[in-house]
Amino acid sequence: MTLALDTPMQLVSSRRRRLWIERVTGLGFAAPALLLLVLTILAPLAVLVVLSLTNYEFGGVDLDFVGLANFQKALADPIIRRSLLNTLIYVAIMVPGGVFGALLIAILIHRRTRTRSLYEVIYFLPVTSTLIAMATVWQFLLHPSLGPVNGLLKWLGFAPIAFLSEPSTALATLAVIGIWQILGFNMILFLAGLTAIPRDLYEAADIDGCSGGIDRFLTITWPLLGPTTMFVVITTMITAFKIFDTVAVMTRGGPVGSTEVLLYNIYLEGFQYFHTGYAAALTFIFLAFILVFSAAQTFALDKKVHY
Amino acid sequence: MSASPPLVATVSSAHSAARRFLSLVLIHGVLIAGALFMLAPFIWMLVTSIKPPAEIFSAEIALWPKQFYGVENYRFAMEKAPLLRFALNGVILCAGILVVQLLVAIPCAYALAKLDFPGRNLLFVLVLLGLCIPVQVPAMPLYIGLAQLGLLNTYFAMMVPFFLSVFAIFLFRQFFRSFPDDIINAARLDGMSEFEIVWRIVTPSAWPAIAAFAVFSIVAHWNDLYWPLIVISDAKLAPPPLGMMFFADAETGSNYGALTAAATILTAPLVLAFLIARRRFIDGITMTGVK
């Protein structure tokens, strides 16, 4: 009621006061985040740019600017080329497996009423498990002579396979473990997407004579899941590109470099050999790929993959 | 003649019932096969952790142990490695990170959503850019900085890169934007400070988003290996994944009974938390995932 008694002058000045308070509190509320943003992201990025142009080695005293030599070295380095190729092969195996496997499971689970939550729990379990601990178990599962997987193969009459110590199978085996870990996560995202599809669309399709499961999938489910699928594909790509844990624990890049991946090489160069300048350049190559994937995501979300 | 229509009906309904049954068998067949693939490592882990070495290393592979050896395996694992300490480190790490993340992100998200201040758009652009930068990118400069300050091998070093969660800011901003302005204005007229408005009015309303983010943050940092591996060499400070790695190295990879016992102990807390708060986890992933 006091407001009604205020003169226009007072109203203007109280409005100004409000704006001023808003500016100050806004800045104050954003300040801690801004400070951390500078200290833990922006300043490190700036330092990284400088480091990538030098031959600095952590612990050493010399620091010479070498221009783009680190980048030239990285692009010509056969080890880095191989590790980049390995990373991309890993992505190429894990993305289709992790996305379409999850889509299949989600579609099958979605219509279940009594068993749905049981299956959800089972498929989601690996997401919450500590991958490093489970990697030890996988190692044992796949053991050439003691593991049950090879036991099963022998029982079926096949020759045993040394999954992790054979250069031709090691990377694919890690990718299967990657799929095992991410499947439940993607399944949950697909289930959310499926729930958002209105039921009457399927009823309408029934009336239009589109009754087969595959028909319904192609005309309704797949197009309407477009945005979800796009999102899942890109997040899976980014996750797969960051493969590090299983390599560090299970294979350490071996056998004969067949599982050396980009992040593992960056870790070795930066934190084991302390070739800091060189590792900084490698980090930018890593970042470039991540940014391309993220840009694809923004682009896809903008375009709203709708039909 | 008169008997024929019902006959056709029964035949076709029997036919469709058979089809339904067949498709159910097929669906559950695929789901169960997949479920076995998902569960196999957990089953094998539990079974191996109660097997004696003789059965682990025997050529014939049996699921169930003839001799129960669980006590010995778990005792050996607990004696050889401070597993409970690793788990405690995991709790300290996750709790410390989460508390600071919320304290920093909530006011910032509120400011971005509801307050007009200079540089707001720039800050938001920086937040969006920050979303694309994984911790592996600033890792080396951060490591050098922490080494210069003599802070390696501390809880602080393990937590500091994650204090700022641009993702939390982004998520909470989306949530706060839909909070009605009228309520905020009414609170202002009642003489509440912006500080009180954030923590006593807006934050409680964002509880689902906060719970979702907490799940996301805890799962990520309980299981993170890359950063602890870089800044921690003291086993006393190791979180579960790093502790497991130390243990597997120190105990030579061959004592599978003890290794799987250790794996069980370090995997259990998060898996049990998931089984208890299943809906929270799944809703959390849905909300943080789809954005």
Specify the range with the lowest mean pLDDT, choosing from A105-114, B4-13, B170-179, B198-207.
B4-13
Main-chain phi, psi angles of A65, to 5 degrees: -75, 130
State residue B208's pLDDT score: 86
Question: Residues near B63 by Cβ (< 8 Å), separated by ≥ 6?
Answer: B43, B47
Residues of A in contact with B245 (CB under 8 A): 132, 248-249
Averaged over B4-31, what is the pLDDT?
A: 76
Alpha-carbon span A39 to B137, nearest angstrom? 14
Alpha-carbon span B284 to B214, nearest angstrom? 8
pLDDT in tens, B138-182: 999 999 999 999 999 999 999 999 999 999 999 899 889 989 999
Encoded tokens for A166: 């054979």
Measure Cα distances from B70 to A135, B45, B53 in Å: 21, 12, 11
State residue B11's pLDDT score: 63
pLDDT in tens, B105-130: 999 999 999 898 888 999 999 998 89
Alpha-carbon span B128 to B56, nearest angstrom? 51
By Cβ distance, the residue of B240, B270, B290 closest to A192 is B290
Question: B-contacting residues of A 249-278, CB under 8 Å?
Answer: 249, 263, 266-267, 270-271, 276
**Chain B contact for A198 (CB, 8 A cutoff):** no
Tell me which residue of A264, A192, A244, A33 sits closest to B120, measured CA to CA.
A33
By Cβ distance, the residue of B116, B138, B144 closest to A41 is B138
Tell me which residue of B157, B181, B285 sits closest to A187, measured CA to CA.
B285
Alpha-carbon span A118 to A5, nearest angstrom? 65
Q: 3-class DSSP state for residue A191?
A: helix
Q: Which residues partner with A65 through β-bridges?
A: A54
Q: Which residue of A has its CA nearest to B117?
A: A23
Residues of B in contact with A18 (CB under 8 A): 188
Q: Exposed (0-12), middle (13-18) or buried (19+): which is B165, by Cβ within 10 Å?
A: buried
Identity of residue B257: G
Query: What confidence tier does B95 reach under pLDDT thresholds 50, 70, 90?
Result: very high
Q: Which residue has the higher pLDDT, B209 or A1?
A: B209
Residue entry with tokens 């693939």 = B37
- Chain A with chain B: Cβ pairs closer than 8 A: 275
For the beta carbon of residue A212, count every other beta carbon within 10 angstroms: 9
ipTM greater than 0.90: no
Low-confidence ranges of chain A (pLDDT < 70): 1-11, 209-212, 300-307
**Chain B contact for A145 (CB, 8 A cutoff):** yes
pLDDT in tens, B26-45: 889 999 999 999 999 999 99
Query: CB pairs under 8 A, 24+ apart, for A212-219?
Result: A213/B23, A217/A107
State residue B291's pLDDT score: 42
Residues of A in contact with B244 (CB under 8 A): 130, 132-133, 136
The domain ranges of chain B are: 4-73, 75-290
Q: What global pTM score does this model have? A: 0.88
By Cβ distance, the residue of B120, B139, B270 closest to A128 is B270
Encoded tokens for B252: 């030579």
Query: What confidence tier does B252 reach under pLDDT thresholds 50, 70, 90?
Result: low
Q: Which residues partner with A54 through β-bridges?
A: A65
By Cβ distance, the residue of A122, A244, A245 closest to B38 is A122
Residue B4 pLDDT greater than 50, yes or no: no
Question: Residues near A179 by Cβ (< 8 Å), separated by ≥ 6?
Answer: A93, A94, A97, A98, A101
Question: B-contacting residues of A 113-132, CB under 8 Å?
Answer: 115, 117, 119-132
Between chains, do A26 and B111 touch, taking CB under 8 Å as contact? yes
Tell me the CB-side half-sphere exposure of residue B161, using CA atoms within 13 A.
Answer: 28
Q: Which residue of A has its CA nearest to B159?
A: A40
Counting every residue, how long is chain B?
291
Q: 3-class DSSP state for residue A164?
A: coil
Q: Which fold has domain B75-290?
A: MetI-like fold (1.10.3720)
Query: What confidence tier does B253 reach under pLDDT thresholds 50, 70, 90?
Result: low
Alpha-carbon span A142 to A163, nearest angstrom? 6
Do the Cβ atoms of B286 and A188 come closer than 8 Å?
yes
State residue A9's pLDDT score: 66
Q: Which residue of B has its CA nearest to A25?
A: B194
First and final CA of chain B: distance in angstroms?
A: 63
Q: Which residue of B has its CA nearest to A101?
A: B34
Question: Residues near B203 by Cβ (< 8 Å), separated by ≥ 6?
Answer: B106, B210
Encoded tokens for A41: 């992201």
Q: What proportion of chain B, given as a percentage, has pLDDT over 70?
A: 93
Do the Cβ atoms of A186 and A120 come closer than 8 Å?
no
Identity of residue B28: H
Alpha-carbon span A178 to B286, nearest angstrom? 20
H or E, element range at A47 = helix A43-52
Between chains, do B248 and A286 touch, taking CB under 8 Å as contact? no
Cis peptide upstream of residue A148 (ω within 30 degrees of 0): no
Residue-by-residue DSSP string for chain B: -TTHHHHHHHHHHHHHHHHHHHHHHHHHHHHHHHHHHHHHHHHHHHHHTTS-HHHHTSSS--SS-SS--HHHHHHHHHHHS-HHHHHHHHHHHHHHHHHHHHHHHHHHHHHHHH---TTHHHHHHHHHHHHT--TTTTHHHHHHHHHHTT-SSSHHHHHGGGS--HHHHHHHHHHHHTS-HHHHHHHHHTT--HHHIIIIIIHHHTHHHHHHHHHHHHHHHHS--HHHHHH---GGG--HHHHHHHHHHHTTTT-HHHHHHHHHHHHHHHHHHHHHTHHHHHHHHHHHHH-
Q: Which residues of A117-142 are buried (b: 16+ CB within 10 A; e: fewer)?
A: eebbbbbbbbbbbbbbbbbbbbbbbb
**Chain B contact for A137 (CB, 8 A cutoff):** yes
State residue A306's pLDDT score: 45
Residue B89 pLDDT greater than 80, yes or no: yes
Distance from CA of A193 to the nearest CA of B (A): 9
Tell me which residue of A3, A10, A20 sits closest to B189, measured CA to CA.
A3
State residue B163's pLDDT score: 96
Residue entry with tokens 């190429």 = A92
**Chain B contact for A19 (CB, 8 A cutoff):** yes
By Cβ distance, the residue of B117, B262, B270 closest to A22 is B117
* The 3-state secondary structure of A277-291, one letter per residue: HHHHHHHHHHHHHHH
Do the Cβ atoms of A81 and A262 come closer than 8 Å?
no
